[in-house]
Amino acid sequence: MAFSNSSDNEVKLPMGYMFAPTKPEIMIYLRSKILGRPLPSDAIPTVDIYATSPEELPFSEFKYGNGIRWYFYSTKPKHDVFTKDGYWSSFLDDIIVSHSKVIGFKRKLVFYRGNLGSWTKTCWMISEYRAHTNVFTASELDENTKEKISNIVLCKVFEAEDPIMFEQTDISESTSSDDSTDEGDDARHYKDGSDS
């Protein structure tokens, strides 16, 4: 498992504040990461999420949330990647729209624990965000950038109270997204709602 996060640009938030980006703001973080430009802050660590079991993720590296959802940059795998005790499986794809323009993609994944022939669905979920080429200028879209757009993702990890209900609700509500805060999408599914 590999992760990194610089402390040179560490953010100190006032009491009561937390990292809760809207979907367009997530695209800003992704765009800056892909282009190798300074990020709005170093709030988001980089982790090989898909090769890591949920309990082994370095949650302490993400310091600006509410303790029930965590954000990480990662690399999008080209196929299922097995951890030592399970794997992440996708079940929903959606688009992200802002001001009638597609700006990104959102994919939902659930963690299955077990071994070949015997898998158990857990409550661990990922909302994976990937940028669309629309958020880049024509001069920025060289081959290197296009490859990074396909590979670099921003992931929100959390535990759902009921993964079956989570899937059924999200599939029934799968429509183009708007500028609402990302936290609102999954809030009804969290085990701990004490922050609301």
Task: Tell me the per-residue pLDDT of 21-58, one tens digit each, with 9 for 90 and over.
Answer: 899 999 999 999 999 998 877 789 999 999 899 999 99
Pairwise pLDDT comparison (183 vs 82), residue with the higher score = 82
Q: Cα–Cα distance between 80 and 48 in angstroms, integer?
A: 13
3-state SS assignment for residue 51: helix
pLDDT(111) > 50: yes
> Residue 191's pLDDT is what?
41
> Residue 97's pLDDT is what?
95
Rg, Å, the chain Cα set: 16
Contact assessment for residue 89 and residue 112, using Cβ atoms and an 8 Å cutoff? yes
The DSSP symbol for 196 reads: -
